[in-house]
């Protein structure tokens, strides 16, 4: 018997398991691949007069797409040609602690002119990304990020795959990244400042060309240092099939914004339901969550070709999710509860030597004198800071200890006036409850957003030995204290 799905897999209008991506790809099989941190110039916007000084991986922003197979051992030789130490963190990959790429915690920082060999096998399929984890707020803001695709064993059936790294450039009038950028942003540099613009893969987003009846898989990484996104797709209702690389039972966005916090990834199925010759906006409305007068920010458009329909819309099968990853199942009945309070603490500006690039700079610019108490971000009253060469805490002990194989329920209580995208290194967790209400669907994540005044509960199995980072992924918050470590032994 030939099913409708079988029929779609034959003939010129067949859907395929897409592996192509509109981005240069770095092969990770065979000889060690090379990844180089280097300075360069780029013109992110077609309208700009002068090129922007950036930091890159392999001379491009975003860095090359890394494609690999699940459980396939890979070798990456990383070289640093910048004038400050750096490292490479593999966001979302559950790999050994020694390969996690946090300078001064899981490895020494890679100094200028030095090399580091990263060797690991990705245990999970899905969409991930890589970025520095030393002086990371500045290094990411200058263009150091790239996407990772670990190929699905059972990918959804689509015509094409597109991978986006969403990034917002904060440039001054000369189209340069301000050297005192952290200071400007901390003081309230508006997300919708006229010199900010959203890009895909580091440059002005080209329109998405689509044919009526076509089906695409749009895979999005929020690589921005500080911007969160709430994307709307005019005339389209994308199906969400994966979060943070992990499959979910497909559900429709129902024309509501798709919220993507810093560090998060989402896989969408978009069907070509538009009319030939028409254009439909893709735009961001996140700023309206805090200010309903804030403008909408255009990302790009979906432009329909003047061409016959690829197939009848009625012939498109229901959207399907990729195959599931093998994540340890939390033992909720015997889970150990831990409360984590997100707050701000007051510290004497002279007691925080590490944030000369942040709090001390701000204090100096605002005329704050030594002895003055200033607020810093913290978890359970323990801020953690980074400078060019190391991370350190006023209290250096891990925030909590885990025993290998045990299940833990983390209850995050946000007492701050803003939102925080929280990320756990080395582990994948199950979303349990938001403000006491169970999640409507099973969802495995490594990053999640908690809004102001919210309480969010997650559960995970401590299955990866080592000292691991946990932090807010808004660069100014992590750089300003909202980082910590937890230990699995």
Q: What is the pLDDT of residues 285-304, one digit of tens each?
A: 998 888 888 889 899 999 99
**Predicted local confidence at residue 182, as pLDDT:** 45
Please compute the mean of the pLDDT values over residues 12-33 and round it to a whole number: 55
**Predicted local confidence at residue 48, as pLDDT:** 81
Torsion-angle region of 346 (φ positive above 0: left; ψ -120 to 50: alpha; else: beta): beta
Q: What is the pTM of this model?
A: 0.91
| In the chain, % of residues over pLDDT 90 | 67
**Predicted local confidence at residue 76, as pLDDT:** 95
Q: How many CB atoms lie within 10 A of CB 17?
A: 14
- Its CATH architecture, for the domain 160-315, is Sandwich (2.60)
The tens digit of pLDDT for each residue in 68-100 reads: 999 999 999 999 999 999 999 999 999 999 999
pLDDT band at 17 (very low <50, low <70, confident <90, very high): very low
Tell which wins on pLDDT, 391 or 403.
Answer: 403
| Residue 1 reports pLDDT greater than 50 | no
Collect all residues with Cβ–Cβ distance below 8 Å to 238 and sequence separation of at least 6.
218, 252, 253, 258, 268, 269, 270
| Residue 137 reports pLDDT greater than 90 | no
**Predicted local confidence at residue 376, as pLDDT:** 83
Residues 107/87, Cβ–Cβ less than 8 Å: yes
pLDDT band at 193 (very low <50, low <70, confident <90, very high): low
Fold of 332-343+377-488: Immunoglobulin-like (2.60.40)
CATH 2.60.40.420 residue ranges of the chain are 18-151, 160-315, 332-343+377-488
**Predicted local confidence at residue 395, as pLDDT:** 67
pLDDT band at 5 (very low <50, low <70, confident <90, very high): very low
Residues 226/185, Cβ–Cβ less than 8 Å: yes
Q: Looking at 187-191, 418-422, 483-487, which range is the least confident one?
A: 187-191
Q: Looking at 41-45, 315-319, 374-378, 414-418, which range is the least confident one?
A: 374-378
Q: State how beta strands 407-414 and 455-461 pair.
A: antiparallel
Please compute the mean of the pLDDT values over residues 116-138 and round it to a whole number: 95
The tens digit of pLDDT for each residue in 142-184 reads: 999 999 999 998 999 999 999 999 998 878 778 888 765 444 4
Nearest residue to 270 (alpha-carbon basis) of 306, 244, 234: 234
pLDDT band at 46 (very low <50, low <70, confident <90, very high): confident
Burial class (CB in 10 A: 0-12, 13-18, 19+), 38: middle
Q: How far apart are CA 177 and CA 189, in angstroms?
A: 13
**Predicted local confidence at residue 369, as pLDDT:** 65
Nearest residue to 462 (alpha-carbon basis) of 438, 489, 481, 443: 489
Please compute the mean of the pLDDT values over residues 464-488 and round it to a whole number: 93
**Predicted local confidence at residue 183, as pLDDT:** 42
The tens digit of pLDDT for each residue in 248-283 reads: 999 999 888 999 999 999 999 999 999 999 999 999
Torsion-angle region of 83 (φ positive above 0: left; ψ -120 to 50: alpha; else: beta): alpha
Fold of 18-151: Immunoglobulin-like (2.60.40)
**Predicted local confidence at residue 426, as pLDDT:** 98
**Predicted local confidence at residue 32, as pLDDT:** 79
The tens digit of pLDDT for each residue in 334-374 reads: 999 999 999 987 777 666 554 444 555 555 555 656 667 77
pLDDT band at 401 (very low <50, low <70, confident <90, very high): very high
Tell which wins on pLDDT, 192 or 93.
Answer: 93
pLDDT band at 476 (very low <50, low <70, confident <90, very high): confident
**Predicted local confidence at residue 170, as pLDDT:** 79
| Residue 130 reports pLDDT greater than 80 | yes
**Predicted local confidence at residue 3, as pLDDT:** 36
Collect all residues with Cβ–Cβ distance below 8 Å to 208 and sequence separation of at least 6.
162, 216, 218, 282, 300, 301, 302, 303
């Amino acid at each position: 018997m030939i099913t409708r799905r079988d029929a779609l897999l034959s003939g010129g209008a067949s859907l395929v398991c897409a592996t192509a991506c509109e981005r240069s790809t770095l092969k990770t099989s065979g000889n060690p691949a090379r990844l180089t941190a280097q300075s360069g110039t780029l013109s992110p916007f077609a309208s700009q007069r002068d090129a922007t000084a950036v930091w890159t991986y392999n001379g491009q922003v975003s860095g090359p797409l890394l494609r690999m197979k699940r459980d396939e051992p890979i070798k990456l030789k990383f070289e640093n040609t910048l004038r400050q130490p750096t490292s490479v963190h593999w966001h979302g990959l559950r790999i050994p602690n020694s390969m996690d790429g946090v300078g001064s915690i899981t490895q020494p920082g890679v100094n200028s002119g030095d090399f580091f060999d990263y060797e690991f096998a990705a245990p999970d399929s899905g969409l991930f990304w890589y970025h520095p984890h030393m002086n990371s707020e500045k290094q990411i803001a200058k263009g150091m990020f790239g996407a990772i695709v670990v190929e699905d064993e059972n990918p959804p059936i689509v015509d094409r795959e597109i991978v986006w790294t969403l990034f917002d450039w904060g440039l001054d009038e000369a189209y340069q990244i301000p050297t005192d950028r952290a200071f400007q942003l901390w003081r309230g540099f508006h997300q919708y400042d006229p010199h900010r613009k959203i890009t895909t893969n580091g440059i002005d987003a080209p329109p998405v060309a689509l044919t009526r009846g076509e089906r695409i898989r749009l895979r999005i990484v929020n690589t921005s240092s500080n911007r969160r996104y709430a994307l709307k797709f005019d005339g389209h209702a994308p199906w969400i099939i994966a979060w943070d690389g992990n499959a979910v039972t497909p559900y429709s966005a129902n024309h509501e914004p798709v919220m993507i916090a810093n560090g998060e990834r989402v896989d969408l199925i978009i069907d070509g339901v538009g009319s030939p010759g028409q254009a439909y906006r893709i735009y961001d409305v996140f700023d309206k969550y805090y200010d309903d007068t804030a403008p909408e920010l255009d990302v790009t458009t979906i432009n329909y070709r003047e061409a016959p329909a690829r197939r009848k819309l009625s012939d498109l099968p229901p959207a399907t999710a990729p195959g599931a990853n093998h994540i340890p199942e939390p033992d909720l009945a015997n889970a150990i509860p831990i409360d984590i309070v997100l707050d701000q603490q007051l510290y004497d500006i002279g007691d925080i030597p590490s944030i000369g690039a942040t709090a001390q700079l701000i204090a100096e610019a605002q005329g704050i004198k030594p002895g003055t108490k200033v607020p810093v971000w913290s978890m359970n009253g323990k801020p953690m800071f980074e400078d060019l060469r190391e991370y350190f805490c006023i209290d250096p002990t891990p925030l909590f200890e885990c025993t290998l194989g045990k299940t833990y329920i983390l209850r995050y209580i946000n007492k701050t006036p803003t939102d925080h995208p929280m990320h756990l290194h080395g582990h994948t967790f199950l979303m349990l409850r938001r403000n006491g209400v169970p999640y409507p669907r099973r969802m495995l994540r490594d990053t999640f957003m908690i809004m102001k005044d919210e309480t969010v509960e997650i559960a995970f199995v401590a299955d990866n030995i080592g000292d691991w980072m946990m932090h807010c992924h808004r660069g100014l918050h992590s750089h300003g204290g909202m980082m910590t470590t937890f230990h699995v032994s």
